[in-house]
């Protein structure tokens, strides 16, 4: 019994140390003016599924997240519209070294869990997701839409998620990045890793990377 308690203690301590290894990542200033004309970007938008494994340049990650659902006005409103300005969609950023939550106010990534969870984003059938250096998991916090979320609330959350995903699709096309919006993923595992509640709706994910040469 004493040995069991000792083992459990070591195990829990190791887990705690692991999570503490990750630090807040302060993102560069996003590029808010560059890129191709918007209609050219829309003309180029497509789903791509063959990624180079190279990490994203920090400026590209910064611009992508800002375009996805960052703050674009002095009153705190966002690049993506949301029902009643509920701002219900959070972006979880899955990197090789760990899972983070995008903080639009600080334009930073806050650590959630150390470890490589790209396989959870891939789910059962689409191994190409594990090549992408970044996956963005889009989650609607339904409690920001309603005090008592129901199926209708989930629909609204799904719409809000879809808009953020399209911002990612468009920004990726403008930045010369590959992405694909995906409904498939291992939601049970992601719920645990990202420490989500039943009132969080995991809607879509977008793996993102440079084109495979
Ligand atoms: C809600 C939604 C869910 C999707 N889920 C997946 C998916 O799980 N895996 C995948 O490879 N593509 C997925 N896609 C991408 C579609 O297959 C793709 O958009 C479609 O084939 C049209 O191709 P295009 O995006 O290049 O125009 C999804 C798209 C949407 C809008």
- CATH code of the domain covering residue 128: 3.40.109.10
Residue 109 lies in a domain: yes
Task: State how far the Cα of 178 lies from the Cα of 45, in Å rounded to an integer.
Answer: 9
Query: pLDDT class for 21, splitting at 50, 70, 90?
Result: confident
The residue among 51, 55, 63 whose CA lies nearest residue 95 is 55
pLDDT, tens digit (0-9, with 9 covering 90-100), for 67-119: 999 999 999 999 999 999 999 999 999 999 999 999 999 999 999 999 999 99
Bridge pairing between strands 200-209 and 178-179: antiparallel
For the segment 117-130, the average pLDDT, to the nearest whole number, is 97
> Ligand 1 center to residue 48 CA distance, Å?
9
Residue 141 lies in a domain: yes
Query: pLDDT class for 10, splitting at 50, 70, 90?
Result: low
Q: Atom 18 (ligand 1): residue with closest C-alpha? A: 47
> Ligand 1 center to residue 183 CA distance, Å?
8
**Which pLDDT score, from 0 to 100, does residue 160 have?**
99
pLDDT, tens digit (0-9, with 9 covering 90-100), for 34-48: 989 999 999 999 999
Q: Rounded mean pLDDT of the chain?
A: 94
CB 137 within 8 A of CB 202: yes
> Ligand 1 center to residue 182 CA distance, Å?
6
> Ligand 1 center to residue 147 CA distance, Å?
32
Residue 7 lies in a domain: no
Query: pLDDT class for 19, splitting at 50, 70, 90?
Result: low
- Token representation of residue 21: 């290894």
Does residue 17 carry a pLDDT above 60? no
Give residues (CB < 6 A) around ligand 1.
Answer: 46-47, 49, 126, 180-184
Task: Tell me the residue range of the domain where 153 lies.
Answer: 23-209
Residue 174 lies in a domain: yes
């Amino acid at each position: 019994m004493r040995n069991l308690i000792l083992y459990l203690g070591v195990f829990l301590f190791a887990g705690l140390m692991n999570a503490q290894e990750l630090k807040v990542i302060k993102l560069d200033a996003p590029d808010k003016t560059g890129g191709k004309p918007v209609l050219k970007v829309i003309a180029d938008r497509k789903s791509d599924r063959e990624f180079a494994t190279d990490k994203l340049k920090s400026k590209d990650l910064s611009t992508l997240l800002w375009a996805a659902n960052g703050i674009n006005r002095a009153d705190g409103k966002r690049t993506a519209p949301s029902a009643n300005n509920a701002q219900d969609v959070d972006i979880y950023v899955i990197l090789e070294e760990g899972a983070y939550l995008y903080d639009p106010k600080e334009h930073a990534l806050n650590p959630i869990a150390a470890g490589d969870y790209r396989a959870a984003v891939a789910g059962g059938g689409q191994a190409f997701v594990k090549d992408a250096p970044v996956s963005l998991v889009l989650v609607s916090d339904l409690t920001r839409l309603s005090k008592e979320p129901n199926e209708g609330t989930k629909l609204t959350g799904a719409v809000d998620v879809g808009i953020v995903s399209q911002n990612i699709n468009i920004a990726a096309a403008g930045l010369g990045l590959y992405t694909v919006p995906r409904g498939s993923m291992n939601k049970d595992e992601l719920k645990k890793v990202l420490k989500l509640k039943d009132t969080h709706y995991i809607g879509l994910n977008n793996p993102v990377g440079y084109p495979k040469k």
